[in-house]
Each structure stands twice: as C-alpha cells, then as structure tokens.
Amino acid sequence: MSSFEESLLEDPRPPAGLPAFAAEIRRKGREVFTNLGLPTTRLEEWRFTPLAGVAGVRFQAGDPGAPFGAPELERLAGPRVGPRLVFVNGRLRADLSDAAGLPAGAFAGSLARALEERPALLEPHLGRLASGSGGAIPALNAALLADGAFVHLPDGAKAAEPLELVFATVSGPAAISSPSRVLLVARPQSEATVVEKHVALGSSPVLSNAVTEVALGAGAGLDHYQVQDQPPSAYHFAAVFAEVERDARFHTHSTALGAALSRSDVRVRLCGEGAEAKLVGLYMADGKRLVDNHSVVDHAKPRGTSREVFKGVLDGESRAVFGGRVRVLEGAMKTDAYQMNSNLLLSREATIDTMPQLEIYADDVKCGHGGTVGQLDADALFYLRSRGLPLERAKSLLIYAFAREMVDLVRPAALRDQIGRLVAARLPDGARVLEAA
C-alpha cells in the first residue's frame, strides 16, 4: 500500500466506545482497503475511469469544526425542502439541523448517537449490504466509520415532508478527505422521501466518499434523491446499496452536476416477490471532467419490476461512463426489466462509454435495454433560429428540453425547482431559458 493510500486511512479522531459490531466494520474495512488499494483501470468496472488525479493528491482528514454557517448552507444547498440534518466533514452539526416534522416513532439523527443509544436497531443492517460489494472505495468508508445519518421508520409510518441530508465538505489550505455514511431503515408499510445533497466549500481539493445503505421492509416505499453539486476541485464517490422486500418500492434519482471526477455505484437487490426498483439519473459535464455511473439490479424473486433511465449532457473534452447491469436470477420468473441510457454530445471531443447489460437465468421474463448517443437536432435548431432566437438561446432551449425529462421525474416540487435552476445555470443562456420554461 502506498503512502497516499495510508494517508487516506489516517483518522485523528477515532470514536470511543463503539459497539463491537461497529468496531468490526471498521476493522474489516481497513483490511479490505489495505489489500485492494485504490481501483485501477485494470479492473473491468474501472477501465474507463482512471484515478491518477486522485492518487496525485495527499489528503488529510477534514475538520468537523471548519467554519460553515447558515449563509453558506443557504447558498450551497438552497432553501429547505423539509426536515434537515446538516453534516460538516462527516459529522452532524446540531446548530444547523432541525428534524422536526417526522412521523411519530421515527428517528432521524446522528449515526454516532444512535450507535450509543440504540445499537440494536443498527446491528442487523449497518455494514451488511455494503460489505458484500468487495469494493475498495466503500471499504475505505467503512474503515473510517464514525458518524453519519441514521433514519428509522417504524411500521406504517408515513412521512409528510421530504427529509433532507446535507453533506458539506469544507476545505482549508490543505486537501481533505471527508467520508459520509447513511443508513435508511423503512419497516413494513412505511413511506418516506429522503434527499441527499453533497456540496463543497473551499478551493483546495476535496475527496468525498459517501455510502448509503437502504433496507426496505415488505410493502414499504422510499423515494431517494442524490444531488451532487461540487466545485471542479472535488472528487466525489457515492455508493448506494438497497435491499427491497416483498411488494416494496425503491426509487432513487441522482443528479450529478459538479466535481472533477464523479462516480456513482448503485446496487439493488429485489429479494421479495413483487418488489420494484426505479433508477433515474441526470449528469452534465464540461471541460475535462469525468462522470461515471455504474449499477447492478438483481432480480432474486418472481414478479419483480425495474426501470433504469439515465441521461447525460457532455461538452468540451468531458467524458462519461455508464455501466448498467440487470441480473435475473434463477427462479425470478415474470420479471419485467428495462434500462436506457441517452446522451447528448455538444462537442467533437466529448465522449461516452455506455454499456447496458442483461444477464438472464430464468424463463418467462420481459427484459430490454438500449442506448443512444447524438448531437443537437439540426432541424430543430434551424426552426428556433428562423423564429428569431439567437444561436446560444436556441441551443440552450434544446439542451434544457433534453434534460428536463429527468428533472420532471423529481416528485417534491421545491426540489424539482432547485434542480431545474441548477441545470439551467449550466447553459449558455440559462436565465432566459428558465424564464421561458
């Protein structure tokens, strides 16, 4: 293991009094990361995503007490869309958080506090889903397990408002590393919407490493959103691991708009009959940025349904990677699965490597996949120009229309408006486009 990789494992504030199972998660994570090291392009799932830029930076642990107040929170994360928990460099900031409005019996708060006060709720789930991935990046997150967000919904609980989790990575003069952890447990027949926002403050390089574990009981429903809007000095890794029981519904929607390198891994296992998963993503990149989306959906029981739709807009010399795999396991009859990846390339130098895949080991299933790569429609552009629109505004309108399909799939109106504004801000004439929309 290199000195760079050793520096990532440095933890000047190891938590005291961790339960034995949490200490074992840290130990096993350190062992796996030590054995594997950072992924290289020799690995199939990373062959289009070199990490040389990350490995060239020496990171140190972020300071949870770094200056970050209400003005910075409002500017980077926008207005609240419901109860909000705020984490600075991986630790809960109580002065910026307010979880009022949760349904009776529900808990949303510090993972560190929950480990102390209610470890029995966490032990069956924490680390169990992520540990099976065998990946080095989630293992690094586990090795530094200290705090994060824990959300627990009792049987039949219905959350009226979205719960917002804001993870702010705040750097100083030096480059910093900031892991974040989320555990979402929804008991049978419960329902909620959870929004993760990942933002960064400061000009020094930052490495944010986010792991989210989701356990949905029978008949539960979860709408899960991730919004990544970080500066070009950031490297962002996110992994979501979900287990969906009988007749439960898991919808996850990712929006990746920032960072020099952004990687998202989603692994969903439909382990109950009639379970449903929907994976939706929008990514935009320019300059020399790289954005990577990988997913695996396992249909393990009959009559499961999954839909996967990702759209990308690439400009400059940016690159994107999409690797989506649907696996229909033996005995999962009457599975209904489909995935699609569509990309809009705005320059000759922008590239996309798209790899939708199906693995089917059962009979009587309905599965399909597709991918498209194209440029702005010349006829549509000519039509808008003939109506007197300037070139940049005409281009912006067409790009916005392409991306807006993904934005419109966001159910909470306030969040949908926020994402729409973030998308428009990245267009040449975005302000006028937003007025027209």
My answer on whether 80 and 220 are in the same domain is yes
DSSP state of 427: S
For 310-367, how does the pLDDT look when each residue is reduced to its tens digit (9 = 90+)? 999 999 999 999 999 999 999 999 999 999 999 999 999 999 999 999 999 999 999 9
What is the model's pLDDT at position 335? 97
Number of folded domains in the chain? 2
End-of-domain residue from the set 272, 293, 325: 272
What is the model's pLDDT at position 3? 66
Q: CA–CA distance from 185 to each of 107, 159, 217, 407 (Å)? A: 10, 13, 8, 26
Q: Is the pLDDT of residue 17 over 90?
A: no
What is the model's pLDDT at position 436? 67
My answer on whether 264 and 392 are in the same domain is no
Give the confidence band of 437 by pLDDT, cuts at 50, 70, 90: low
Q: Is the pLDDT of residue 87 over 90?
A: yes
Residue 6 CB partners (closer than 8 Å, separation 6+) = none
pTM over 0.85: yes
Phi, psi of 84 (to 5 degrees): -135, 130
Q: Is the pLDDT of residue 56 over 80?
A: yes
Determine the residue type at 343: N
Q: Exposed e or buried b for every residue in 381-414, given b needs 16+ CB within 10 A?
A: beebeeeebeeebbbbbbbbebbbebbeebebeb
Residue 278 lies in a domain: no
What is the model's pLDDT at position 12? 64
Residue 340 lies in a domain: no
Residue 152 lies in a domain: yes
d(CA 44, CA 356): 14
Residue 355 lies in a domain: no
My answer on whether 108 and 253 are in the same domain is yes
d(CA 109, CA 346): 43
Residue 363 lies in a domain: no
Residue 312 lies in a domain: no
For 188-235, how does the pLDDT look when each residue is reduced to its tens digit (9 = 90+)? 999 999 999 999 999 899 999 999 999 999 999 999 999 999 999 999
Q: Is the pLDDT of residue 435 over 80?
A: no
My answer on whether 106 and 239 are in the same domain is yes
Beta strands in 219-304 (DSSP E): 221-228, 234-244, 249-256, 261-270, 276-285, 290-299
Residue 42 lies in a domain: yes
Return the structure tokens found at 111: 């993972």
Phi, psi of 28 (to 5 degrees): -65, -40
End-of-domain residue from the set 272, 306, 324: 272
My answer on whether 62 and 193 are in the same domain is yes
Residue 4 CB partners (closer than 8 Å, separation 6+) = 55, 57, 58
The parent domain of residue 395 ranges over 378-437
d(CA 8, CA 58): 8
Contact 178, 169 (CB under 8 A): yes
d(CA 374, CA 345): 6
End-of-domain residue from the set 272, 302, 332: 272
My answer on whether 402 and 264 are in the same domain is no
My answer on whether 85 and 214 are in the same domain is yes
d(CA 410, CA 224): 10
Phi, psi of 379 (to 5 degrees): -65, -40
For 153-197, how does the pLDDT look when each residue is reduced to its tens digit (9 = 90+)? 999 999 999 999 999 999 988 899 999 999 999 999 999 999 999
DSSP line for 367-409: EEEEEEEE---HHHHHHHHHTT--HHHHHHHHHHHHHHHHHTT
Give the confidence band of 257 by pLDDT, cuts at 50, 70, 90: very high
Contact 207, 170 (CB under 8 A): no
d(CA 311, CA 112): 36
Q: What mean pLDDT value characterizes the chain?
A: 94
Residue 258 lies in a domain: yes
Bridge partners (DSSP) of residue 267 are 241, 296
Contact 140, 33 (CB under 8 A): yes
